[in-house]
Amino acid sequence: MSGNQIRRSMPILPIGTVMQLTDLTARQIRYYEEHSLIHPARSDGNRRLYSLNDVDQLLEIKDLLDQGINMAGIKKILILKTEPAPIETTTTKPEVSNEEVRKILREELLQAGRFQRPGMQNERPRFFH
């Protein structure tokens, strides 16, 4: 049950293939990398090589973006994906499932994200007066 995981994390896809698989432009794919949303491997003459996991990662990013979440939020969400089991605190109290924590955090991010979104690009954030 790990052979596939190994394969899924194997860096083999050139950016061109990833573009077709995700419907994202090379510009966007590289842009997300600049913001540490993905970490494709490099090879040959400095060419990016993506794994199937990276492709899934990008598809999720695209989704989150459509949902109105920004890079910062996506970054946090992605970290939750990477570190599924935060910390089994020493407290043996009736645990609040990680899923519960995630749900809450996800909602928070949705809120934060909705602020600077396309639609009212000209309006400046006038929090006061």
Name the residues that contact DNA, by CB under 7 A: 14-17, 19, 25-28, 30-31, 45-48, 65
Segment holding 47, helix H or strand E: strand 47-49
CB of 60 to DNA, least distance (A): 14
C-alpha 8/C-alpha 39 separation (Å) is: 14
> Residue 45 or 84: which CB sits closer to DNA?
45
> Residue 4 or 46: which CB sits closer to DNA?
46
Count of Cβ atoms closer than 10 Å to residue 99 Cβ: 9
CB of 101 to DNA, least distance (A): 28
Please name which of 67, 63, 70, 71 lies closest in space to residue 115, comparing C-alpha atoms. Answer: 70
> Residue 33 or 98: which CB sits closer to DNA?
33
Count of CA atoms in the C-beta half-sphere (13 A) of 33: 17
